[in-house]
Amino acid sequence: MSKKPILIVKAGGTYPDMAARYGDFEDWFIARMDWSAGTVETVSPFSGAPLPPVASYGGIIITGSHDMVTEKQPWSEKAADWVKQVVEAEIPLLGVCYGHQLLAHAMGGVVGDNPKGKEFGTVSIRLNPDGCEDRLFDGTPETFVAQACHSQSVLQLPAGATLLASSELDPHHAFIVGRRAWGVQFHPEFDGQMLRLYIQRFANDLVAQGLDVDRLLADIRETPQSERLLRRFQRLCT
């Protein structure tokens, strides 16, 4: 294994009441990672912390956020420039939800409101032939379930990116750009309880979209195939 640590780039934080009970975004990732694989560090650019030299790390994970990439906040645009350096240096990178969209934006893709509306719930993800052959998804069934919680999506992939997976509401659920930079719209760090709390918090918005919140809650399942991606990513950071 690489002796360099993995860096979690914290693009935001969860709600204070959730953080008090379950920890914050970085804790959810760390709980599903392999501690024997090495150390993990965290940096919070949304709070003003500077991003470190990319060569200091064996791999990088970018978390979700309650912000939107399309807001182009100064910290986020600086992070996008930094992401380009990570991709060019071929350091393994995994962008999740906001991180997925930030990676696409940084590399020239287009991010915006999902024209099919918000995607919340335990959703079915389908790997395409490229996804079935991809190292990050090695051993993952062609169809698996994952937790989704987003209103914006990658509307157009960056030039040269390869699409890996889709859902019914989002054709760009996973992609790779460069040799070692992956984006996934779904949340491998979420368990069913975390998703349940987010659905309850956004219930009014979901009802306004015409969604059956009770059905979304009843259909929540645990997603072990999705969660395993985090340990598989760690193995790629060697």
Amino acid at 227: E
The pair of structure tokens assigned to 109 is 């893709």
- Specify which residues 59 forms β-bridges with: 6
Q: Please identify which of the residues 97, 105, 150, 173 carries the catalytic annotation.
A: 97
Helix H or strand E encompassing 123: strand 119-127
Amino acid at 206: L
Q: Please identify which of the residues 26, 119, 189, 227 carries the catalytic annotation.
A: 189
- Specify which residues 93 forms β-bridges with: 60, 181
Q: Please identify which of the residues 105, 172, 187, 237 carries the catalytic annotation.
A: 187
Q: Could you identify the residue written with the tokens 């409101």? A: 113
Helix axes 74-89, 98-106, angle to 10 degrees: 70
Residue 189 a catalytic site member: yes
CA torsion 98-103-105-108 (nearest 10°) is: -160
Helix residue spans in 7-158 (DSSP H): 16-22, 25-31, 74-89, 98-106, 129-133
The pair of structure tokens assigned to 74 is 């100064």
The pair of structure tokens assigned to 121 is 């719930």
Strands 93-96 vs 59-62: parallel, antiparallel or unpaired = parallel
SS3 content of the chain, % helix, strand, coil (to 5): 40, 25, 40
Q: Which residues are catalytic?
A: 97, 187, 189
